């Protein structure tokens, strides 16, 4: 049974016989969804006469006493909303790249592996994931989705960095950007390529791999083959990769080409003059 709270237009009061679990179940039955809750996650209830008898009408459970509890579903919704804001700040425009809008096509294995990496929180056990293949296959999309989901679902301290872009920064700025990565639980290194062969960059890249060999996880994308990547990084880091990483090749039609085809589809409809 539901009663309208005479003192508020925002909160309803349930009458229950015994417990707050009953009030929660009643509220859940009428819940449109946590994000559309008109009561901001507050559940209020009174005990029925039966309930009062059950509790022997003590002062704590008086007839007019209204109890309040916070909905766990609403608390989770608010928590994920706050984490989503943090993820968007970290990822910028890449925040829009999620598992939900990734098109697996020829890369179902990479897609499933990325989701498994997140669901098992593999970074907590020092797990690494390498996505390699040609340009435009969706590697950056999956890296972004991993970081996005790790932050929103688990509150993980994570960051994505484009290594090719870091290599274009000034020495001090690039050094600080790479140094700061050691503060994270999970890092995504996007577009790892020949740029890291620059002499001044190598010691800092090596330090990242050394730091994350002891804690946290690394996910990375590269257009190089695994052998070429290992040759580039040298024996020491190659040993880390062999010990910690799962490598998945991404291939097939370029996602960028698919996007281009969609964006210029109007031209195909134009016809000849």
Question: Residue 148 and residue 21: Cα distance in Å, rounded?
Answer: 33
For 124-161, the pLDDT digits (tens) are: 999 999 999 988 789 999 999 999 999 999 999 999 99
Pairing mode, strands 67-70 and 42-47: antiparallel
Percent of residues, the chain, with pLDDT higher than 70: 75
| Phi/psi at 209 (5° precision) | -65, -35
For 217-244, the pLDDT digits (tens) are: 999 999 998 888 888 888 888 888 888 8
CB 107 within 8 A of CB 252: yes
Q: Please state the separation of Cα 191 from the chain's center in Å.
A: 20
For 48-63, the pLDDT digits (tens) are: 655 544 444 445 555 5
SS3 24: helix
CB 107 within 8 A of CB 137: yes
* Pick from 24-38, 76-90, 179-193, 216-230: least confident: 24-38
Would you give the DSSP letter of residue 121? T
Question: Residue 163 and residue 222: Cα distance in Å, rounded?
Answer: 10
């Amino acid at each position: 049974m539901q009663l309208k709270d005479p003192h508020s237009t925002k909160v309803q009061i349930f009458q229950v016989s015994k417990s707050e679990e009953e009030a929660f179940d009643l509220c859940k039955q009428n819940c449109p969804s946590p994000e559309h809750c008109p009561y901001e996650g507050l559940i209020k209830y009174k005990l029925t006469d039966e309930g009062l008898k059950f509790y022997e009408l003590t002062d704590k459970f008086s007839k007019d006493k209204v109890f309040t509890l916070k909905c766990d579903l609403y608390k989770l919704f608010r928590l994920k909303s706050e984490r989503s804001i943090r993820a968007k700040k970290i990822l910028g425009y890449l925040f829009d790249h999620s598992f939900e809008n990734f098109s697996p096509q020829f890369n179902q294995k990479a897609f499933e592996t990325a989701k498994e990496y997140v669901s098992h929180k593999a970074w907590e056990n020092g797990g690494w994931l390498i996505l390699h293949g040609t340009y435009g296959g969706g590697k950056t999309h999956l890296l972004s989705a991993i970081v996005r989901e790790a932050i929103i679902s688990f509150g993980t301290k994570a960051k994505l960095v484009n290594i090719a872009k870091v290599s274009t920064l000034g020495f001090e700025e690039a050094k600080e950007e790479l140094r700061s990565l050691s503060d994270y639980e999970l890092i995504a290194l996007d577009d790892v390529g020949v740029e890291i062969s620059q002499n001044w960059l190598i010691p800092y890249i090596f330090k990242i791999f050394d730091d994350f060999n002891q804690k946290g996880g690394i996910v990375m994308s590269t257009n190089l083959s695994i052998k070429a990547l290992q040759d580039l990084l040298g024996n020491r880091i190659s040993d880390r990769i062999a010990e910690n990483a799962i490598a998945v090749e991404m291939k097939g039609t370029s996602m960028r080409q698919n996007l281009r085809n969609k964006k210029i589809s109007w031209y195909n409809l134009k016809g000849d003059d």
